[in-house]
C-alpha cells in the first residue's frame, strides 16, 4: 500500500481506550476529532458511534484513572473483592470479617491515591466525588461483572452496590462488547461463565450430611448472620458517609466564618487608619485656628490703637479749628 492510500479507520475499542484515559477537559475535543478521523476514513457508522460516546462523570473518571495509571493497585482491590465473594458464599464469617476490615483499609488507601493523582493532573476532586468513586469500587468488589466493568477503564457513570446482589451496569460502560470477562479478578462462584455449575457441584459433593435438617438449620442461621453483618456494614458505611458530609458542611461554615472575620478585620483596620488620618487633619486645623486667633487678637489691638490715635487727631483738629475761629472773631 502506498503512502497515499487512506489509513484504515480506527476500531471503536481503540478509540474508547484512548478517550477514557484522558482528562475530562480533553475528552470532548478528542472524541470529536476521533469521530472526524473515522468519517474521513469512510466509516460513517464508526464515526457516529464514536461521536455518541458520553463524557464520563467525574467519579467515573477517577476510577478510570486507576485502571489506566494505577493498574496493579486496582487489581489488588478487585482480587480482594473476589476473595470476599468466595468467603460470603462459603459462609466463612471469620474470613469475611477479616477481609471486610482489609477492604475498608484498602479502599480508603486507593481512593486517596486517586485523589492525589487527580491533583497532580490539575483536576482535584471533592470529598463527595471521592466517596462516590469509593462506592463504585465497593460495587466492583461485590459483583464480578461490575469488577470487569471497572477493570476496563471505560466507566461512564458511577456504580452502586445493593448487598451482594448484581450491580446495575446498564449504560455504565462506553463499549460493553469490548469488556474482557474475568478481568476483574473473579474467583470462586464468580470465576466467569460456566463456573457456577462447578461450584454447585462442589457443594453437593461434600456428602449426604448436607441434606440433614440440622445442617440446613445451621446454614440458614449462617446466612442470616451474613445478611445481618452485611446490613450492619452498609448502615455503618452510610453513617460514615453522612458524618463525613456533616463534617464537610461544618468545615465549609468554619471557612466562611473565618473569611467573614478576615473581611471585618480588614474593614476595622481601614477605619482605624481613616480615624488616624482625620485626627491628623483635626490637629492641623487646630494649629491653624490658634494661629488665626492670635492674628485676630493682634489685629484687634492694632485697631484699638488706631482708633485712639484717630480720636486724638480728630480732637486736635477740632481744637485747632476752634482756636482759628476764636482768632477770626477777635480781629473783627
Give strand pairing partners of 273. none
| DSSP letter (8 states) at residue 11 | P
C-alpha span between 13 and 47 (Å, rounded): 13
Residue 216 pLDDT greater than 60, yes or no: no
pLDDT band at residue 181 under the 50/70/90 scheme = confident
* Angle between helices 127-142 and 144-152 in degrees, nearest 10: 130
What per-residue confidence (pLDDT) applies to 246? 86
Mean local confidence (pLDDT), 16-28 = 94
Strands (E), the chain: none
Is the pLDDT score of 191 beyond 90?
no
DSSP 313: H
Beta bridge partners of 173: 155
Judged against a pLDDT cut of 50, whether residue 242 lies above it is answered with yes
Most confident range (mean pLDDT) of 74-78, 215-219, 255-259 is 74-78
Confidence of residue 10 (pLDDT cuts 50, 70, 90): low
Torsion over CA: 201, 205, 210, 211 (sign): positive
pTM: 0.53
DSSP secondary structure letter of residue 173: B
Condensed to tens digits (0 to 9), the pLDDT of residues 220-238 reads: 446 556 666 767 787 788 8
Write out the DSSP string of 77-140.
Answer: HHHHHHHHHHHHHTT-HHHHHHHHHHHHHHHHHHHHHHHHHHHHTT----HHHHHHHHHHHHHH
Phi and psi at residue 168, to the nearest 5°:
-70, 115
**From residue 182, how far is each of 95, 148, 186, 192, 310 by CA, in Å?**
23, 6, 6, 6, 125
pLDDT in tens, 94-122: 887 888 888 889 999 999 999 999 999 99
Amino acid at each position: 500500500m502506498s503512502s497515499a492510500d487512506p489509513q484504515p479507520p480506527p476500531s471503536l475499542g481503540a478509540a474508547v481506550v484512548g478517550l477514557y484515559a484522558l482528562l475530562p477537559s480533553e475528552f470532548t475535543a478528542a472524541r470529536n476529532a476521533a469521530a472526524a478521523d473515522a468519517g474521513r476514513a469512510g466509516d460513517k457508522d464508526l464515526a457516529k458511534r464514536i461521536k455518541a460516546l458520553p463524557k464520563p462523570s467525574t467519579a467515573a473518571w477517577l476510577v478510570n484513572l486507576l485502571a489506566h495509571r494505577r493498574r496493579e493497585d486496582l487489581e489488588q482491590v478487585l482480587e480482594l473483592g473476589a476473595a470476599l465473594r468466595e468467603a460470603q458464599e462459603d459462609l466463612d464469617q471469620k474470613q469475611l470479617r477479616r477481609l471486610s476490615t482489609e477492604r475498608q483499609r484498602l479502599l480508603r488507601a486507593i481512593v486517596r491515591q486517586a485523589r492525589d493523582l487527580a491533583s497532580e493532573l490539575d483536576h482535584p476532586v471533592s470529598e463527595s466525588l471521592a466517596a462516590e468513586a469509593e462506592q463504585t469500587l465497593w460495587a466492583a468488589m461485590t459483583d464480578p461483572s461490575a469488577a470487569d466493568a471497572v477493570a476496563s477503564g471505560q466507566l461512564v457513570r458511577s456504580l452502586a452496590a445493593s448487598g451482594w446482589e448484581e450491580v446495575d451496569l446498564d449504560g455504565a460502560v462506553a463499549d460493553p462488547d469490548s469488556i474482557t470477562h474475568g478481568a476483574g479478578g473473579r474467583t470462586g462462584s464468580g470465576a466467569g461463565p460456566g463456573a457456577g455449575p462447578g461450584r454447585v457441584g462442589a457443594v453437593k459433593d461434600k456428602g449426604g450430611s448436607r441434606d440433614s435438617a440440622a445442617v440446613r438449620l445451621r446454614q440458614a442461621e449462617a446466612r442470616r448472620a451474613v445478611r445481618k453483618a452485611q446490613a450492619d456494614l452498609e448502615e455503618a458505611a452510610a453513617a460514615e458517609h453522612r458524618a463525613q458530609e456533616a463534617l464537610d458542611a461544618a468545615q465549609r461554615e468554619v471557612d466562611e466564618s473565618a473569611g467573614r472575620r478576615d473581611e471585618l478585620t480588614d474593614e476595622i483596620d481601614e477605619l482605624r487608619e481613616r480615624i488616624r488620618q482625620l485626627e491628623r487633619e483635626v490637629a492641623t486645623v487646630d494649629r491653624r485656628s490658634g494661629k488665626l486667633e492670635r492674628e485676630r487678637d493682634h489685629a484687634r489691638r492694632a485697631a484699638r490703637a488706631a482708633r485712639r490715635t484717630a480720636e486724638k487727631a480728630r480732637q486736635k483738629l477740632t481744637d485747632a479749628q476752634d482756636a482759628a475761629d476764636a482768632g477770626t472773631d477777635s480781629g473783627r
